[in-house]
Amino acid sequence: MDYKKSTAPGTTVTRDMMSLAEKTGNVYETVRIIGKRSNEIAAEIKHDLERKLQEFSSFTDSLDEVFENREQIEISRYFERLPKPTLIASQEFIDGEIYYRNPSKEKDNIEEL
């Protein structure tokens, strides 16, 4: 999912983890799923930010040439205003947009057949 089009709230939201855990049957597994997805989103955001800011980097060693670039500041502000990766991952989990599986549970089901 594109994090830029996320419907996640921009501020912190308190969630009832027991209601979220109904999908997996385990609170800790739910937190693990959301945490892993959150790390993926954070890495994607960091990569995009670094790529966009790379356009403004200068390869000279002179400190006299350092100046504030308005476009660079606007890009940084845009990324600061995005919802936090944890909020995006939580919203994706609630909306059912995260694919997850538990290999140990699948192994138990195969042995029962």
Q: Where are the domains of the chain?
A: 15-105
Q: Is the pLDDT reported for residue 24 higher than 50?
A: yes
Q: Is the pLDDT reported for residue 43 higher than 50?
A: yes
What pLDDT, on a 0 to 100 scale, did the predictor assign at position 41? 93
Confidence of residue 113 (pLDDT cuts 50, 70, 90): low
> What pTM was computed for the model?
0.75
SS3 for 66? coil
Q: Is the pLDDT reported for residue 60 higher than 70?
A: no
Phi then psi for 97, rounded to 5 degrees? -95, 0
Q: Is the pLDDT reported for residue 7 higher than 90?
A: no
Q: Is the pLDDT reported for residue 65 higher than 70?
A: no
- The candidate with the shortest Cα–Cα distance to 100, out of 41, 29, 46, is 29
Q: What is the mean pLDDT of the segment spanning 90-104?
A: 86
Confidence of residue 64 (pLDDT cuts 50, 70, 90): very low
